[in-house]
Amino acid sequence: MKNKLFIILFIIVGYLIYYLVIERRFNSDLLMKEQSSIIKLSSLTNFDWDTAELSTSNEDFEKITFYKNGIDVYREIIKLNFDDGYESQYLFESNNRKDVASNYKCFYTSSIRLKKIEKISEGKVTFYIYEPIGCEPIN
Protein backbone atom coordinates (compact mmCIF):
# COMPACT_ATOMS: atom_id res chain seq x y z
CA MET A 1 0.00 0.00 0.00
CA LYS A 2 2.81 2.41 0.87
CA ASN A 3 4.57 1.60 -2.42
CA LYS A 4 1.44 2.44 -4.45
CA LEU A 5 0.99 5.69 -2.56
CA PHE A 6 4.66 6.58 -3.08
CA ILE A 7 4.40 5.86 -6.83
CA ILE A 8 1.26 7.97 -7.19
CA LEU A 9 2.82 10.82 -5.22
CA PHE A 10 6.00 10.57 -7.32
CA ILE A 11 3.98 10.77 -10.56
CA ILE A 12 2.04 13.81 -9.33
CA VAL A 13 5.20 15.63 -8.22
CA GLY A 14 6.91 14.75 -11.51
CA TYR A 15 3.98 16.11 -13.50
CA LEU A 16 3.94 19.35 -11.48
CA ILE A 17 7.67 19.86 -11.95
CA TYR A 18 7.32 19.29 -15.68
CA TYR A 19 4.30 21.56 -16.05
CA LEU A 20 5.53 24.41 -13.86
CA VAL A 21 9.27 24.37 -14.58
CA ILE A 22 10.26 22.44 -17.68
CA GLU A 23 7.42 22.97 -20.17
CA ARG A 24 7.92 26.11 -22.26
CA ARG A 25 4.91 28.36 -22.13
CA PHE A 26 3.99 31.65 -23.73
CA ASN A 27 1.15 33.42 -21.92
CA SER A 28 -0.95 34.42 -24.91
CA ASP A 29 -4.08 34.66 -22.74
CA LEU A 30 -2.73 37.92 -21.33
CA LEU A 31 -2.76 39.37 -24.86
CA MET A 32 -6.39 38.44 -25.49
CA LYS A 33 -7.99 41.34 -23.64
CA GLU A 34 -8.21 45.10 -23.89
CA GLN A 35 -5.47 46.84 -21.96
CA SER A 36 -3.62 50.12 -22.04
CA SER A 37 -0.35 49.05 -20.46
CA ILE A 38 2.94 48.24 -22.13
CA ILE A 39 3.79 44.54 -21.81
CA LYS A 40 7.37 43.30 -21.61
CA LEU A 41 7.88 40.28 -23.84
CA SER A 42 9.97 38.63 -21.12
CA SER A 43 6.96 38.68 -18.76
CA LEU A 44 5.00 36.46 -21.17
CA THR A 45 7.39 33.49 -21.06
CA ASN A 46 8.63 30.97 -18.51
CA PHE A 47 11.78 30.04 -20.46
CA ASP A 48 15.12 31.62 -21.33
CA TRP A 49 15.50 33.38 -24.67
CA ASP A 50 17.64 36.23 -26.00
CA THR A 51 15.84 37.36 -29.18
CA ALA A 52 12.36 37.07 -30.61
CA GLU A 53 11.12 37.60 -34.15
CA LEU A 54 7.67 39.14 -34.53
CA SER A 55 5.95 38.76 -37.90
CA THR A 56 3.76 41.63 -39.06
CA SER A 57 3.05 40.08 -42.45
CA ASN A 58 2.10 36.70 -40.96
CA GLU A 59 3.82 34.84 -43.78
CA ASP A 60 3.76 31.08 -43.29
CA PHE A 61 1.28 31.68 -40.46
CA GLU A 62 4.13 32.70 -38.11
CA LYS A 63 3.37 35.19 -35.33
CA ILE A 64 6.29 35.04 -32.93
CA THR A 65 9.41 32.90 -32.61
CA PHE A 66 11.78 32.94 -29.64
CA TYR A 67 15.49 32.14 -30.00
CA LYS A 68 18.24 31.28 -27.54
CA ASN A 69 21.75 31.58 -29.03
CA GLY A 70 20.23 31.50 -32.52
CA ILE A 71 18.29 28.27 -31.92
CA ASP A 72 14.48 28.25 -32.17
CA VAL A 73 13.12 27.43 -28.67
CA TYR A 74 9.42 28.34 -29.05
CA ARG A 75 7.12 29.28 -31.94
CA GLU A 76 3.53 30.54 -31.99
CA ILE A 77 1.51 30.41 -35.21
CA ILE A 78 -1.77 31.90 -36.43
CA LYS A 79 -4.79 29.93 -35.26
CA LEU A 80 -7.25 28.81 -37.91
CA ASN A 81 -10.55 27.05 -37.58
CA PHE A 82 -11.14 25.27 -40.86
CA ASP A 83 -14.92 25.36 -40.40
CA ASP A 84 -15.29 29.06 -39.62
CA GLY A 85 -11.99 30.64 -40.71
CA TYR A 86 -9.88 32.58 -38.22
CA GLU A 87 -10.16 32.29 -34.46
CA SER A 88 -9.91 35.23 -32.08
CA GLN A 89 -6.24 35.91 -31.45
CA TYR A 90 -3.47 38.47 -31.09
CA LEU A 91 -1.41 39.70 -34.06
CA PHE A 92 1.41 42.17 -34.59
CA GLU A 93 1.46 45.24 -36.81
CA SER A 94 4.12 47.80 -37.67
CA ASN A 95 4.17 50.85 -35.46
CA ASN A 96 4.91 53.13 -38.42
CA ARG A 97 2.83 53.33 -41.61
CA LYS A 98 5.95 54.11 -43.66
CA ASP A 99 7.75 51.08 -42.27
CA VAL A 100 7.77 48.26 -44.83
CA ALA A 101 9.43 45.69 -42.58
CA SER A 102 7.62 42.37 -42.46
CA ASN A 103 9.38 41.21 -39.30
CA TYR A 104 10.86 42.71 -36.16
CA LYS A 105 13.79 41.45 -34.12
CA CYS A 106 13.08 41.99 -30.44
CA PHE A 107 15.34 41.59 -27.46
CA TYR A 108 14.69 40.40 -23.92
CA THR A 109 14.08 44.01 -22.84
CA SER A 110 11.62 44.77 -25.69
CA SER A 111 7.92 45.38 -25.15
CA ILE A 112 4.62 45.45 -27.01
CA ARG A 113 1.57 47.72 -26.72
CA LEU A 114 -2.02 47.20 -27.82
CA LYS A 115 -2.56 49.30 -30.93
CA LYS A 116 -6.15 48.45 -31.86
CA ILE A 117 -8.88 45.85 -31.65
CA GLU A 118 -10.63 44.62 -34.80
CA LYS A 119 -13.81 42.58 -34.90
CA ILE A 120 -14.75 40.54 -37.98
CA SER A 121 -17.36 37.92 -38.88
CA GLU A 122 -20.17 39.95 -37.33
CA GLY A 123 -18.19 40.40 -34.12
CA LYS A 124 -17.58 36.68 -33.58
CA VAL A 125 -13.82 36.96 -34.16
CA THR A 126 -11.65 39.54 -32.41
CA PHE A 127 -8.09 40.46 -33.36
CA TYR A 128 -5.94 42.19 -30.75
CA ILE A 129 -3.31 44.05 -32.77
CA TYR A 130 -0.05 44.83 -30.94
CA GLU A 131 2.85 47.03 -31.99
CA PRO A 132 6.47 46.26 -31.08
CA ILE A 133 8.41 48.69 -28.88
CA GLY A 134 12.21 48.65 -28.77
CA CYS A 135 12.47 46.18 -31.66
CA GLU A 136 14.50 46.47 -34.87
CA PRO A 137 12.76 46.15 -38.25
CA ILE A 138 14.13 43.39 -40.47
CA ASN A 139 13.09 42.33 -43.95
Residue 4 lies in a domain: no
The better pLDDT of the pair 35, 47 is held by: 47
Task: Using pLDDT thresholds of 50, 70 and 90, give the confidence band for residue 95.
Answer: low
Residue 17 lies in a domain: no
Instruction: Tell me the whole-structure pTM to 2 decimals.
Output: 0.72
Average pLDDT over every residue of 13-20: 69
The sheet carrying 71-77 orders its strands as: 71-77, 62-68, 51-55, 103-107, 136-138
Task: Using pLDDT thresholds of 50, 70 and 90, give the confidence band for residue 59.
Answer: low
**From CA 6, how far away is CA 72, in angstroms rounded?**
38
Residue 13 lies in a domain: no
Domain count, the chain: 1
| Full domain range(s) for residue 71 | 27-138
